Structures are given as C-alpha cells and as structure tokens.
Amino acid sequence: MAGSRAPIDDPIDELYGFLRFSEGLILTNHHCVESCLAELSSKDNSLLDRGYAAAKRSDERRCSTQLADVLVGLEDVTATVTKALQGLDDKAANEARKKILTELEQACEQSSAKTKSGKLKCQAVILYEGGQYSIYKYKRYDDVRLVFAPEADIAAFGGDPDNFQFPRWSLDFAVLRAYENGKPATTPNHLQINFSGPQVNELVFVPGHPGTTQRLETRAQLAFERDVSLPSTLLRLRSSAAATFNSAEARPSMSNWSKHRSTASRMYSKSAVSCWMHCMTMH
C-alpha cells in the first residue's frame, strides 16, 4: 500500500499499509484511520474514544473519504528525464523536469486504461536528490471499509516519544478492507503473518516509505547546515525560550516556572552546545 496521510478535515485520505489476506484486508497504523473514525462517529458514540470491531462482514463500514493505492509496478525513467534536461540551466531544467514527469505520468495512466487490469494511478518519484527517477504504478481502490480499530488511548499509549522507541507498548494498528464492485477485493498478492515470529539470525526486512533522509547530502549542504541553518535555528529557539520564561515570571500563576529558570536555562544551553558541536564535526 502507499499514499500520504491527510488531516481529518481533508476531503481525501490515502493510506499507508499492507495487504495481509487474499480478500482485501489492509493492516495499517491507527492514525491512518482517524479521519474515518471521526466521520463514522456521532455525538453519543465516538469511535475514536471507544474503538470499533465489525462482528461480521456486513458490519464493515465504508470510509467515504479514504482511498487505498496498491503498488503494482515500478518503471525507471531516469534516462528519459536526464535526456530532457541536457544542456539546460537550472531554471529551464526545473521547468523541463516538471513537464516531462507530468507527461510520463499521463502516458502511464493512459496506456494502463487499455489493459485488462484497468486504469492505474501513476506517480513520478524523485530519488537520490535527482539521481534517479521512477514511475510508481498503483491500483486504486475507492471503496475502503473499516473492520477494526482500537480506542485511541491504547493506540497512542506513550505518546509521540514512545513512537520512536522499540519495543512500543501500544496497540497502534487498524484493519480495513478494500472492496471492488461492492465485493471484497481479490488480492492474491499479499503478505502473510508468521505468528511464530522470526527465528534467531533469520533475515528480516522492514518495509516502509521514509518521509525524508539526509544520507546523501553533499559537503556543501552539510556546510550550509553548520554555518547558516542550525545557528539561526539555535538563536530562534533561545529567543523563544527567553520570551517564555519572561512571560512566566510576569504571571503569578506561573511562579513555579521562575524557580526553575536557571536550571532550565543551563539544560537548554547544554543542549545547544551539544547540537553546535555536532554541527562542527559533521565533516
């Protein structure tokens, strides 16, 4: 599965997740179904607070604002894009890049509409800071129904700090089902759960689509971070911290803040110095 999560008030919410069974079941994160839970809730029955479990197939409720895109193919178009950019200056190359990628997306969707499998959703993807260009091809399901979601308190237990730790002690998942022509979608290519778990020294792959990475940044980019971006960020944070402390001291109800100002300031300064030293040694 692929897509990008949208806020609750967005008209369309695409999903990240994985097909788990042959009848269109999708396993995803709980936050990916928050918009659906909110949509299906009422004043007296908040599915976000109480969770939801469909006891039978007919209880699976449609998420009218969500789509599910299943990745079915990749096409490397690097050579085509690179050829279109040859000999152009930066501004012209940028315009040419957008034009050729749009044309490739449109050509992909138009050609797929003539196949037995039906029209695909095609997306141009830029990798390695422009070192590689691909067209990702998706089969889109616009009928996605809620099967199971735990209550938000257990799904988000530990908050954002725990979200970046392992192991996590939360129930952060939800199950949906993709439908096609009013029936559960037939999805023969799917992942299976190994309930016995991995064995010692067994090779394990972790699938995902990273939001961003700095692994391939150039020396010039790192120098910019060190000399321009991070120093200005530290100054801005220091100014914000000072304004917060001053505001706290001016309010009697926040008097406890002033007692801890010197400790907090030392902690902030130590953190800032640590960040600065890290910047200075990036090369």
pLDDT of residue 6: 33
Q: Read off the pLDDT band of 105 (50, 70, 90).
A: very high
Residue 173 pLDDT more than 50?
yes
Express each pLDDT in 47-81 by its tens digit: 999 999 999 999 999 999 899 998 899 999 999 99
Three-state DSSP class for 184? strand
203's tokens: 């090779």
Residue 275 pLDDT more than 50?
no
CA–centroid distance for 140 within its chain: 18
Residue 11 pLDDT more than 80?
no
Q: Identify which of 71, 96, 70, 72 has the alpha carbon closest to the alpha carbon of residue 85.
A: 96
Residue 183 pLDDT more than 90?
yes
pLDDT of residue 109: 96
Q: Is the peptide bond before 207 cis (omega within 30 degrees of 0)?
A: no
- Strand (E) or helix (H) holding 200: none
Q: Identify which of 108, 109, 32 has the alpha carbon closest to the alpha carbon of residue 68.
A: 32
Residue 1 pLDDT more than 80?
no
> What's the first-to-final CA gap in the chain, in angstroms?
38
Whether 53 and 40 have beta carbons less than 8 Å apart is answered as no
Q: Identify which of 108, 134, 101, 143 has the alpha carbon closest to the alpha carbon of residue 15.
A: 143
pLDDT of residue 16: 52
**132 phi/psi in degrees, rounded to 5:** -150, 140
**208 phi/psi in degrees, rounded to 5:** 170, 170
Establish how many alpha carbons lie within 13 A of residue 208's alpha carbon, considering only the half-sphere containing its beta carbon.
Answer: 7
Express each pLDDT in 217-241 by its tens digit: 889 999 999 999 999 999 999 998 8
Q: Read off the pLDDT band of 215 (50, 70, 90).
A: confident
Q: Read off the pLDDT band of 250 (50, 70, 90).
A: confident
- Higher pLDDT: 194 or 206? It is 194
- In the chain, the percentage of residues whose pLDDT exceeds 90 is 54
